[in-house]
Amino acid sequence: MSIEVRGLYKAFGSYVAVKDVSFAMRPGEVAALLGPSGSGKSTVLRMIAGLELPDRGQIVIDGVDSTWQTAETRGVGFVFQHYALFRHMTVAENIAFGLRIRKVARPEIDERVKELLGLIQLSGFAERYPNQLSGGQRQRVALARALATKPKVLLLDEPFGALDAQVREELRTWLRRLHDEVRMTTLLVTHDQEEAMDLADRIVVLNGGAVEQEGTPSEIYDSPRTPFVASFIGSSNRLEGRIVGGRTELEGQDLGWPEHVEGATAETRVDAFVRPHDIEVKASPAAGSRGISAAVVRTTRLGWQVKMELQLPSGRTLTVQCGKEQADALGVRPGDPVVLQLRRAQIFAHGAAALPDLSGLGAAARDISGLGGSATAG
Amino acid sequence: MTELASRPRHTRRIGALRLGVRSMVVAYLGAFVLLPLSAVLKVGFSKGLWGFAQAILTPDAIAALWLTLQTSLAMAAINALLGTWIAYALARVNFPGRTLVNALIDLPFAIPTLVTGVMLVVLFGPQSSFGLWFGEHGVRIMYARPGIVLALLFVTLPFVVRTVQPVLYEMDIANEEAAITLGASPFLAFRKVTLPGLWPAIRTGTLLSFSRALGEFGSVVIVSGNIPRRTLTAAVLIYGEIESGRPEAAAAVSAVLLAVAFMSIVLVENFQRGGLPRELA
Amino acid sequence: MSLREPGVVVVWTDSIRPSAAPSGAGVSVRPRGREWSKLARRAVLLGVPLGYLALLLVGPLIAVVRGSLADGIPAFFDAVTSPDALHAFLMTLGMSGLAIVLNTVFGVAIAWTICRDRFVGRSLLGGLVDLPFAVSPVVVGLMAMLLFGRHGWFGPLLKQAGIKVIFSWPGMALVTTFVSLPCVVREVTPVLEEIGLGEEEAARILGASPAQTFLRVVLPNIRWGIAYGIVLTAARTLGEFGGVLLVSGGLAGKTETATLLIYRQLEERHDTSAHAVAVVLACVSITILVVMDWLKRRRDRDLRDVGS
């Protein structure tokens, strides 16, 4: 019931789709392969299913090395983005397909089909044809078809990509409930972060055919380990700056922290990623603290939130999100000067894929609220 | 981490079934298409390049090839015009019996070419009312060049119509209508708005009908009268040479016909690749 | 200055209402004159193509029917039920049937290979398949003779084996199969492309072997394409003439197809009989045409309805 993937590499002619992908799944968990298009996530999934064969690497399904096994014998379940239902068979025949191939007895097949139809809540639809179903219904049938043969693992390739937003939401909820019931090891490929965060126990972020980060949704969101993850997941503002003489300077302004940095003595150029809700906006700097000065460009009301667009002296614009009450208390109007204090930022040295070299800085960077708090009056 | 093996040789094998099908296909096409073709080419050049030239450059052969070219080109020009016209009428005008007429277009695909020839002679031959009327005005249709062009037009009718139709259906009539509201006459609107998008299809259809016409035999042998150097086409000449026991000459002329036909097909392939995206814009 | 009437939608505001009395200048439109010119335009647009079609397609059909009845109905029936005629029809049927079987089996295999298989030289296959359409029937006959005739490449071999290809039915069958080779392939290939790999991959993952995938998933999906291709093959082989003319030897009652019979009767100046047989062939062709049209619509509807 588990999948392990090691060092996968696949090229199509001169185009390398998958450079080096390794990860492992635990039995019964839902994992998501998340990444932009071209990240190789679908290729990885298809290699696990056996629809493509890797050039190098290893795929272990349930303890068995299945790397070079044909798709027919792997015993996985697969759901396609565009359903791929057999157009000339009824819903019941579609679901029964895998069982008929395995020469299961007729009464057993009928029983299982009935059971699955109930599971996907389409009990009266056995004799319908795919072209008589809506997109959401078709995908449910596709799922039932994949589950019919009780596969070891379930693979989903952007399963809701072809559906309307509302149907997508419904099916997402439904899939979560289904998984709670069936507890099948599930690997899901998607480019939709919300979907991944919602459904998955663990997320593997892919970019350009390689793994950027692997972790729980919170880990990925709160502690991105690479600039790509920081900018891809959620929304972030990107600030440029440098670390010189052990102090951090962002957007030309010395922030005074951290107080000490191990290892980084020479000047290092860095990128900082800050979430819109991790920026505090103040009308004037509190005594003794340092912040980044900026000017308000525009404020927009979005329900109970307020979105503020601010411009820095360097010309860069930032987006800040805060509650309505805070914004009212601030009472700024477009053009007003303000001071920004960063509660939390992920700082990456230029050229560094992750943080290990700047462990001291990194530790400081992950949570500077303490520093900021101690250095400022409020 | 241990060295991860690269894909083992044995997985580059293809399933037995797939291999079987592939070999069967290659064998079938090789035996059925390549083999006969090479036979013609080999025999056509069996007496060397000089022999080939000798066979081609007889007055009869030159006249036959030239006649074939002329009649096919004439037919292609007429077909391009009328085929497009028919396609346009079918696509844009909703008239009673349109479905029937549309189905009728495929008739030349269904009817034996020999029967086509027979029908045309009955309708336009010297004994018929048409033939007599035209004869009074000094024009011979059957057993003369016009008859050949007529037969070719019949046989290749669907080619242009059927390649232009789908393009017309895809096109939005709103574009033409917009042009009309801006002051253009319907014909101008057609010329400036619709026609540019149709050119690739017209070109393809015309080329297809041209290459089809080059080798047409069944209808031409009936309607043309087969007078050497006057109404003897290349295909009928080939037939004559075979019957007279001169297969090398026949093969030589065949080689020329084949070459021209293949060139047209190649052109069609090239156009299709470049032409299609534009039409859908 | 006069306003041109929009071709489609006309919106009149008070200021451009058509005036009852035509005026020389100013904004006025004559609806009646316009309508006539529109009608005339439509008449030309429709009239020319319809007239052309009537003259070229329908006229000859009617003419040949009339010609076949020139000696009366009994003579018509005699002509089409004579032993020679019946044998010729049987011959045509046999040749067609054989070509259909061969080209359907191989046609589907070829279409499959072109669409789904990947190997060096695959793109050549497409060109090879189209070749028979480009070759003149007499050249096809020539090819057959060059290969299997007495002095042909395989001539001596065949003579040793005692097999007669040219001037006998195998030769005719080969020619007939050759000329109709592309029919099924060209109809199945686009359907296979349109449908795409999805269902086949799904079947594989569900455990189906390549053979099972083909029989249970692919075949049902291409059935209308195959049907249409078969009908096209039937039409093409029914009318095959140039090639079989060379290869058959024209022995009445032995190696004569319907088309060859017509030709012989024309040569022997039995015009009415020739026309009678031609009419029979034409009727069969028209039936085939009707089936073709129906199948075409079925196939298009099938592809349209069942989108993914």
Distance CA A233, CA A196 (A): 11
Using the Cβ of A218 and the Cβ atoms of chain C, whether some distance falls under 8 Å is answered with no
Q: Which of C9, C46, C142 to mutate to test the interface with B (most CBs of B within 10 A)?
A: C142
pLDDT score for A197: 93
- Over range B108-119, report the average pLDDT: 92
Provide DSSP, chain C.
--PPPPSS-----GGGPPPSS--SSSS---HHHHHHHHHHHHHHHHHHHHHHHIIIIIHHHHHHHHHHTTT-HHHHHHHHHSHHHHHHHHHHHHHHHHHHHHHHHHHHHHHHHHHH---TTHHHHHHHHHHHHHS-HHHHHHHHHHHHSTTSTTHHHHHHHT---TTSHHHHHHHHHHHTHHHHHHHHHHHHHHH-SHHHHHHHHTT--HHHHIIIIIHHHHHHHHHHHHHHHHHHHHT--HHHHHHHTT-TTTS--HHHHHHHHHHTT-HHHHHHHHHHHHHHHHHHHHHHHHHHHHHHHHHHHS--
Together in a domain, B95 and B107:
yes
Average pLDDT over residues B246-255: 89
Q: Which residues of B touch A53 (CB under 8 A)?
A: 7, 11
State how beta strands A64-65 and A56-61 pair. Answer: antiparallel
Name the helix (H) or strand (E) containing B18. helix B16-29
> What one-character DSSP code corresponds to residue A209?
T
Of C204, C216, C308, the CB nearest to A72: C204
Residue B1's domain spans which residues? 1-44
Q: Determine the distance in angstroms separating the CA of A17 from the nearest CA of chain B, rounded to an integer.
A: 16
Task: Residue B120: give its domain's CATH number.
Answer: 1.10.3720.10
Looking at residue C297, its pLDDT comes to 85
Instruction: Provide the shortest C-alpha distance from residue B72 to chain C (in Å).
Output: 14
Same domain? For B245 and B118 the reply is yes
Q: Are residues B184 and B259 in the same domain?
A: yes
SS3 A251: coil
Q: Does C203 touch chain A (CB under 8 A)?
A: yes
The answer to the question of residue B151 being in a domain is yes
**A–B interface: beta-carbon pairs under 8 A:** 19
Same-domain status, B145 and B220:
yes
Asked if C299 is an interface residue toward chain B (Cβ–Cβ < 8 A), one would say: no
Contact (CB<8Å) A68/B6: no
Using DSSP's 3-state secondary structure scheme, residue A52 falls into coil
User: Phi/psi at A299 (nearest 5 deg)?
Assistant: -120, 140
Across residues C74-103, what is the average pLDDT?
A: 93
B157 and B63 fall within a common domain: yes
Predicted local confidence at residue A368, as pLDDT? 38
Query: Which range has the top average pLDDT, B8-12, B95-99, C203-207?
Result: C203-207
Return the residue of B nearest to A54 by Cα: B7
Partners of A145 on chain C (C-beta within 8 Å) are 202, 206
In the predicted structure, residue C26 carries a pLDDT above the cut 50? no
The string of pLDDT tens digits covering residues B73-111 is: 999 999 999 999 999 999 888 888 898 999 899 999 889
Q: What's this model's pTM, rounded to 2 decimal places?
A: 0.81
Q: Quick one: B3 exposed, middle or buried, by C-beta within 10 A (0-12, 13-18, 19+)? A: exposed
pLDDT computed for residue B278 by the predictor: 28
Please enumerate residues of A whose Cβ is less than 8 A from a Cβ of B: 6-7, 53-58, 68
Within 8 A of C301 by CB-CB distance, chain A residues are none
pLDDT at C18: 46
Considering only residues B30 and A355, tell me which one the structure prediction assigns the higher pLDDT: B30
* Segment C292-305 mean pLDDT: 81
B5 in a structural domain: yes
Is residue B279 included in any domain, yes or no?
Answer: no
In a shared domain, residues B25 and B148 = no
B187 pLDDT more than 60:
yes
Per-residue pLDDT at C15: 43
B33 and B58 belong to one structural domain: no
Count the domains in chain B.
2
Facing B39 at nearest CB: one of C63, C134, C153: C153
Cβ of residue C263 closer than 8 Å to a chain B Cβ: yes
Residues B129 and B180 in one domain: yes
Choose from B17, B19, B71, B122 for mutation: most chain C CBs within 10 A.
Answer: B122
Q: What is the dihedral of CA B211, C132, C94, B116, to 10 degrees?
A: 0
Nearest-by-CA chain B residue for A70: B11
What's the pLDDT tens digit per position in C215-232? 999 999 999 999 999 999
If asked whether residues B86 and B206 sit together in one domain, one would say yes
User: Which of A56, A58, A68 lies at the smallest CB-CB distance from B11?
Assistant: A68
Closest-CA distance, B20 to chain A, in angstroms, reads 18
Q: Which residues of B, range 7-36, sit inside 8 Å of A by Cβ? A: 7-8, 11
Q: Same domain, yes or no, for B157 and B242?
A: yes
Question: Do B31 and B128 fall within a single domain?
Answer: no
B100, part of any domain:
yes
Q: Are B39 and C147 inside 8 Å of each other by CB?
A: yes
Average pLDDT, chain B: 84
Neighbours of chain A (3+ CB pairs under 8 A): B, C
Percent over 70 (pLDDT), chain C = 87
Query: Cα–Cα distance between A147 and A139 in angstroms, integer?
Result: 12
How close does chain B come to A42, measured CA to CA in Å? 20
pLDDT band at C31 (very low <50, low <70, confident <90, very high): low
Q: Are B268 and B214 in a shared domain?
A: yes
Cross-chain CB nearest to B7 (options A6, A7, A54): A54
In a domain, B278, yes or no: no
- Beta carbons of B4 and A57 less than 8 Å apart: yes
Does residue C28 surpass a pLDDT of 70? no
Q: Give the number of other CB atoms < 10 A from CB of residue B191.
A: 13
Q: Which residues of C touch B226 (CB under 8 A)?
A: none
Residue B17 is predicted with a pLDDT of: 79
ipTM above 0.90, yes or no: no
Per-residue pLDDT of chain A (378 residues; tens, 9 = 90+): 789 999 999 999 899 999 999 999 999 999 999 999 989 999 999 999 999 999 999 999 988 898 988 888 898 999 999 999 999 999 999 999 999 999 999 999 999 999 999 989 999 999 999 999 999 999 999 999 999 999 989 999 999 988 988 999 999 998 999 899 888 899 999 999 999 999 999 999 999 999 999 999 999 998 888 889 988 998 888 888 887 766 777 776 766 665 444 555 567 788 888 889 888 888 876 665 677 888 888 889 888 889 989 988 888 888 999 888 888 888 888 888 888 888 888 888 775 443 333 333 433 343 333 222 222 222
* pLDDT the model gives residue C305: 65
- C-alpha torsion C192→C194→C196→C199, nearest 10: -80
| Nearest-Cα residue of chain C relative to residue B235 | C138
Nearest CA in chain B to A5: B4
* Ranges of each domain in chain C: 6-68, 73-307
C46 part of contact set with chain B, CB < 8 Å: yes
Is residue B126 one of the residues assigned to a domain?
yes
Q: Does residue B280 lie in a domain region?
A: no
Sign of torsion over alpha carbons C214, C220, C221, C222: positive
Domain C73-307 superfamily per CATH: MetI-like (1.10.3720.10)
Contact yes or no for B4 and A56 at CB 8 A: yes
Residue A22's φ and ψ, nearest 5 degrees, are -140, 135
- Average pLDDT score over residue span B185-192: 83
CA closest to C92 among chain B residues: B112
Using an 8 Å CB-CB cutoff, list chain C residues near B116: 60
CB atoms within 10 A of CB A81: 20
The answer to whether C41 contacts B186, with C-beta atoms less than 8 Å apart, is yes
Averaged pLDDT of chain C: 84
C167 neighbors C247 (Cβ within 8 angstroms): yes
Q: How many CB atoms lie within 10 A of CB B85?
A: 19
